[in-house]
Amino acid sequence: MSQMDRRRALKLLGSLGAFGATGLAAACGRADGAEVEEPISDEPVRIGMIVAQSGVYKPIGDEMLRGFQLYLDLNDQRLGGHPVDLVVADEGETPESGGAALDQLVKKNVLALTGVVNSAVLLGIRDGVEQAKIPLIASNSSPSTLQSVVYIWRTSYINDEPGRALAPYVKERVPASGEVAIVAPEYDAAVDSVQGFRQSFGESDPRIAAPVIWTKYYPGKPARNAYASHITQLVNRDPDAIYCFFSGDSAVEFLKKLRLAGYRKPIYAPGFLTEGPVLDQLRTREADGIVTSLNYSADLNNAANRRFASAFRKAHGSTPTTYAMASYDAAQVLDKGIRIAGDNLNPLQLNLALGRIGQIDSPRGPWQFNQPRTPQQKWYLREVQLDGQVLSNVLVSELATLG
C-alpha cells in the first residue's frame, strides 16, 4: 500500500462499499506476498478443467486438480483479479471420453481450458480446441507430434525431452564396449521417450544397437507376470545399464520382477518411473540407486518451490509431483494472461495475452514459453535414496536446459 499513488488508493477505498473489506485486502496484496498491480474485479471468469476423475488415470488427474486448486487457494480463489468458477469435466481414458468433456465445457462458455492427462486424448481433441478458439493450457500430456497449434499451450514438457536430457549422462557412464538395453511399452509417450533418448545418445552408437524391447501397454494394473518374458531376455543379455519407460502400477511390477530376477546393474529412466506413489510400494533393494530425469524435484531450493511444496504437504500430507507442479503453473499462466488481457477479456484476447506473459517464477525454477508454446526449462538428475526411513527422489544436479 505504501507504493500506491493517491488516485489508486482513493479508487480502492471508494470500491469498498461494492465488495467489502475482504475485497480491499485482496486488491492490496495476494496470499503469496506479491502486490496486485490492478484493482480486483467482481466479474468471475469460468475455467474448464479436462482431467481424469475416473479410470486408470485418476491418480494423475487428482494430482493435477490439487495443483491447480492449490494456486487458487494461495491467491484468494482469483486469477488475474477475477473470482474463478472452476468447472471440472471427466477426461476418462479415451479420446472419445476426452472429446465429450471438451464439448461439455465449450457449451458452458468457458474463458479457457486446462488439464488433460493422456497424450492420446490431447491429440484427439486438438482440432476441437482449435475450432472452438478457446486457449487450452495443457498441464501433463505433451506428444511430440502435436505441432502447428494456435490455441494449445503446454506447461509440462515434450514427451521426448526426459530421454534427451538423460542420454548424455548415461553415455558417459557406460563403457565404450558396453550395452544399454532399452525397454518400454509401445504407446505414444513411451515411443517419444525412447526416440528422444536414442537421438540424444547417438543412434549409430553400438552401445544401443540392439533392438528396443517393446512390451504391451497396460494403462491400468498389469497382468500377472506381464513382463516375465521381457525380463528373462534382459537378464540373459546382462546389459551394463537399462533405460526404461514405465509409470504407476506398471513401474512397480516391472521393477519388482526385474530385481527379483537378479538384475542389480544401473537403471535409468524418465522420472515417471519413480514419481508419485510408486516408491511407497517398493522396498529399498528394489528402488535404491535408480537414476531419473525430470523437470521438477520437490527438494529444489528456491522461494517458489518452498512456498508450493510446503503448502502442498500441509494440504495433502504428501510430496508434490511434477503433475501437481505443472498444473499449479497452468493456473499461474492463466493468472498472468488474464491480467495482461485486461478489460477486453475473451478467449481470443486471452490467447494473444499468453504470448506476452514472459517468465514464470515456478517451483521448478524460472521458465518461459518458446515458439511452439512449450516450456524452455531446466531438467534435473534425481536418484532414489533413503531420506530417513523413506525412499525419496533426491536431487543430484542439473542436466540440461531444453525447449
- Domain annotation covers residue 71: yes
Q: What is the pLDDT of residue 387?
A: 87
Extract the C-alpha cell encoding 135.
Answer: 486457449
Strands, E assignment, 187-325: 213-215, 241-244, 267-270, 291-294
Contact (Cβ atoms closer than 8 angstroms) between residue 121 and residue 95? yes
Give the contacts of 165 (CB within 8 A, at least 6 positions apart).
Answer: 200, 293, 379, 399, 400, 402
Residue 5 lies in a domain: no
Same domain for 96 and 223? no
The helix (H) or strand (E) run that includes residue 63 is helix 58-74
C-alpha to C-alpha distance for 13 and 20, rounded to whole angstroms? 10
Same domain flag for 244 and 324: no
Work out the burial of residue 23: count CB atoms within 10 Å of its CB; fewer than 13 is exposed, 13-18 middle, 19 or more buried.
Answer: buried
Specify if 353 maps to a domain: yes
Q: For residues 311 and 401, is the Cβ–Cβ distance under 8 A?
A: no
How far apart CA 401 and CA 126 sit, in angstroms, is: 27
Residues 285 and 190 in one domain: yes
- Are 322 and 288 contained in the same domain? no
CB atoms within 10 A of CB 124: 18
Q: Residues 283, 387: one domain? A: yes
Counts of helices then strands in the chain (DSSP H, E): 13, 14
338 within domain boundaries: yes
- The domain that holds 129 is classified in CATH as 3.40.50.2300
Residue 126 CB-half CA count within 13 A: 16
Closest CA to 337 of 124, 94, 81, 164: 81
Place of cell 544401443: 208
pLDDT of residue 265: 97
First to last CA, the chain: 39
Torsions phi, psi for 45 (to 5 deg): -115, 140
Same domain, 130 and 60: yes
Supply the pLDDT for residue 73: 98
403 residues of the chain, pLDDT tens digit each: 333 333 333 333 333 333 333 333 333 444 444 444 455 788 999 999 999 999 999 999 999 999 999 999 999 999 999 999 999 999 999 999 999 999 999 999 999 999 999 999 999 999 999 999 999 999 998 899 998 999 999 999 999 999 999 999 999 999 999 999 999 999 999 999 999 999 999 999 999 999 999 999 998 899 889 999 999 999 999 999 999 999 999 999 999 999 999 999 999 999 999 998 899 999 999 999 999 999 999 999 999 999 999 999 999 999 999 999 999 999 999 999 999 999 889 999 999 999 999 999 999 999 999 999 999 999 999 999 998 888 999 999 999 999 9
Contact residues for 240 (Cβ-Cβ < 8 A; gap 6+): 174, 175, 178, 179, 180, 207, 265, 266
Task: Let me know whether 110 and 45 are in one domain.
Answer: yes
Asked if residue 319 and residue 284 are part of one domain, the reply reads no
The domain tally of the chain equals 2
Q: Are residues 258 and 392 in the same domain?
A: yes
Dist. CA 42–CA 19, nearest whole Å = 8
In a domain, 248, yes or no: yes
pLDDT attached to residue 150:
97
Whether 9 is in a domain gets the answer: no
Q: Residue 165 sits in which domain range?
A: 161-294+380-402
Do 145 and 189 lie in one domain? The reply is no
Q: Supply the pTM of this predicted model.
A: 0.88
Residue 18 lies in a domain: no
**In a domain? residue 13:** no
Question: Does one domain contain both 88 and 118?
Answer: yes
Q: How far apart are alpha carbons 144 and 166 in whole angstroms? A: 17
Using only the alpha carbons of the chain, give its radius of gyration.
22
135 and 204, same domain (yes or no): no
